[in-house]
Amino acid sequence: MSRLIIEGNHRLNGTVSINGAKNSALPVLAATLLARGTSEIHNCPLLSDVAASVRILRYLGCTVSRSGSCVTVDSLGLCRSDIPDTLMREMRSSIVFLGAIAARTGEAHMSFPGGCELGTRPIDLHLSALRQLGMEIIEERGRLECKVNGRLKGTTIALSFPSVGATENILLASVTAEGTTSILNAAREPEIIDLCKYLSRCGARISGAGESAVTVEGVDTLYGCSHAVMPDRIETVTYMAAAAITGGSLVLKSVNPEHIATVLPAFEEAGCNIISSDGEISIVSPKRLHRIRSVRTMPYPGFPTDAQAPTMAMVTVADGTSVFIENIFESRYKHAGELMRLGARIKTEGRVAVVEGVPRLSGAQVDCTDLRGGAALVIAGLAADGITEVTQIHHIDRGYEKLEQNLCGLGAAIKRVE
Ligand code: UD1
């Protein structure tokens, strides 16, 4: 089992380039199944979740290769419509393959993605929407057996919550459906826009991407194309929090400041000086961070739930008390207990966490509880006195490319020990 050994109290300074977004690369890779021929996906981050998507594509019969940050997928050889349980378990977001496989092959067989570290993660919205498009779905003993008689049929689908994954599944299922599909209360995340850009380049007819009402006019066939994945907005926030907690200064390149427009004010409230321009953000942090009055996670364009843990780590050493209200996932404070091992003062109750800033953290052994919670522990370790040992780092490898190498390049002292 790998772990990270962090020697704290090194200021971060310098420039870092942000990678392509995991949460965009994964649905785009699933979407390549729909495109006859070859798609080149540029700016594809090197992550274990991306590797899991590639394994699924290869299992299904696609030819996939990687050269640098470009993943090339040829879906011509697609010959299966099932995903084995082991591959489904590797990555819970593999459920996004459901819409694409069923649309392309007329059937899909897979297990439920299962429970998860963020609490129960139901897929009822996905299944209800796909049923409305005409998919027959039998749920039996943890398995999904799906069949399409003829072609899926466009309809109006009103989501009771703007679920990112459900919106993606509907898009994947409807782009080649018969007739028009309207998605009401669709997720508006930038990753949805990125997926629609890829699909549109392949020949899909989508309007309203990034808005609450999205319209898809089904087409007969999609063709492969070339697409560059958008920058990772959560990786951006993670490096900003890492700089802030160490009192450092960073320039982040290859970013889209607009995507984190509701996060930047929180960093400014914490006393950071932020200048953003086209594709770049610079952050200069104060000697001691101030508290952030309140952070409420919301669907986009609100404060992203994925940025909650890194931001919480940052304010553990702020001057004053910060309050978090987690509105997206029911159980997303597991990192709080681990941060407390480092000396943070946090009280959680239900959806609320109250963080009373302390002057200093001290190194300890902590376990990653999930991807963003793991990043929060690394951030805290950067500012803790002495040595912090972070275990269960496979969670971090799901979503951060070369995190410790990048941080070391900025002045941190981190070793990965196998
Ligand atoms: C995606 C992101 C994840 C992010 C989340 C919210 C990917 C791979 N993952 O996850 O990093 O934290 O969006 O921004 O893109 N829900 C239901 N029924 C459903 C689907 C969702 O009740 O059928 C609930 C979930 O339990 C959760 C909320 O809706 O409470 C949001 O989930 P959703 O937007 O679907 O998140 P994901 O697509 O799973």
3-state secondary structure the chain: CCEEEEECCCCCEEEEECCECHHHHHHHHHHHHHEECEEEEECCCCCHHHHHHHHHHHHHCCEEEEECCEEEEECCCCCCCECCHHHHHHCHHHHHHHHHHHHHHCEEEEECCCCECCECCCCHHHHHHHHHCCEEEEEECCEEEEEECCCCECCEEECCCCCHHHHHHHHHHHCCCECEEEEECCCCCHHHHHHHHHHHHCCCEEECCCCCCEEEECCCCEECCEEECCECHHHHHHHHHHHHHCCCEEEEECCCHHHHCCCHHHHHHCCCEEEEECCEEEEECCCCCECCCEEEECCCCCECHHHHHHHHHHHCCCECEEEEECCCCCCCCHHHHHHHHCCCEEEEECCEEEEECCCCEECCEEECCCHHHHHHHHHHHHHEECEEEEECCHHHHCCCCCHHHHHHHCCCEEEEEC
Please say whether the structural domain 22-228 has been given the CATH code 3.65.10.10: yes
Query: How far apart (Å, rounded) are the C-alpha atoms in residues 93 and 32?
Result: 16
Tell me the backbone φ, ψ of residue 108, rounded to 5 degrees: -160, 140
Question: Are the C-beta atoms of residues 237 and 257 closer than 8 Å to each other?
Answer: no
Phi-psi region of 185 (alpha: psi -120 to 50; beta: other; left: phi over 0): left
Token pair listed for 385: 């006195």
Token pair listed for 309: 């843990």
Q: Where are the domains of the chain?
A: 3-19+231-417, 22-228
Shortest-distance atom of ligand 1 to CA 24 = 15
Side chain identity at 115, as an amino acid letter? Answer: G
Cα atoms found within 13 Å of the Cα of residue 412, Cβ hemisphere only: 34
| pTM of full prediction above 0.95 | yes
List the beta bridge partners of residue 319: 290
The residue ranges of the chain whose pLDDT is under 50 are none
Q: Are strands 273-277 and 280-284 parallel, antiparallel or unpaired?
A: antiparallel
Shortest-distance atom of ligand 1 to CA 162 = 34
Q: Note the pLDDT of residue 114.
A: 61
Beta-sheet strand order (sheet of 280-284): 13-17, 249-253, 280-284, 273-277
Instruction: Count Cβ atoms below 10 Å from residue 1 Cβ, excluding itself.
Output: 8
Instruction: Write the burial class of residue 415 (CB in 10 Å: 0-12 exposed, 13-18 middle, 19+ buried).
Output: exposed
CA dihedral for 176, 45, 41, 277, sign (positive or negative): positive
Output the residue whose Cα is nearest ligand 1's atom 35: 163
Q: Note the pLDDT of residue 89.
A: 87
Residues, the chain, total?
418
Q: List the CATH code of the domain at 3-19+231-417.
A: 3.65.10.10
Q: Annotated catalytic residue: which of 44, 62, 70, 116?
A: 116
**Short-list 224, 194, 221, 222, CA closest to 209:** 194
Question: Are the C-beta atoms of residues 345 and 304 closer than 8 Å to each other?
Answer: no
- How confident is the model over 39-91, as pLDDT tens digits? 999 999 999 999 999 999 999 999 999 999 999 999 999 999 999 999 998 88
Q: Note the pLDDT of residue 307.
A: 98
Query: How far apart (Å, rounded) are the C-alpha atoms in residues 176 and 180?
Result: 10
Could you tell me if the CB of 122 is within 6 A of ligand 1? yes
Question: Are the C-beta atoms of residues 208 and 196 closer than 8 Å to each other?
Answer: no
Q: Note the pLDDT of residue 184.
A: 98
Could you tell me if the CB of 125 is within 6 A of ligand 1? yes
Question: Are the C-beta atoms of residues 164 and 192 closer than 8 Å to each other?
Answer: yes
Output the residue whose Cα is nearest ligand 1's atom 25: 121
Is 368 a catalytic site residue? no
CATH fold match for the domains 3-19+231-417 and 22-228: yes
Q: Note the pLDDT of residue 123.
A: 93
Q: Note the pLDDT of residue 1.
A: 83
Shortest-distance atom of ligand 1 to CA 163 = 34
Could you tell me if the CB of 163 is within 6 A of ligand 1? yes
Could you tell me if the CB of 121 is within 6 A of ligand 1? yes
> In the chain, what is the straight-line distance between the N-terminal and C-terminal CA atoms, in Å?
6
Output the residue whose Cα is nearest ligand 1's atom 1: 164
Output the residue whose Cα is nearest ligand 1's atom 21: 163
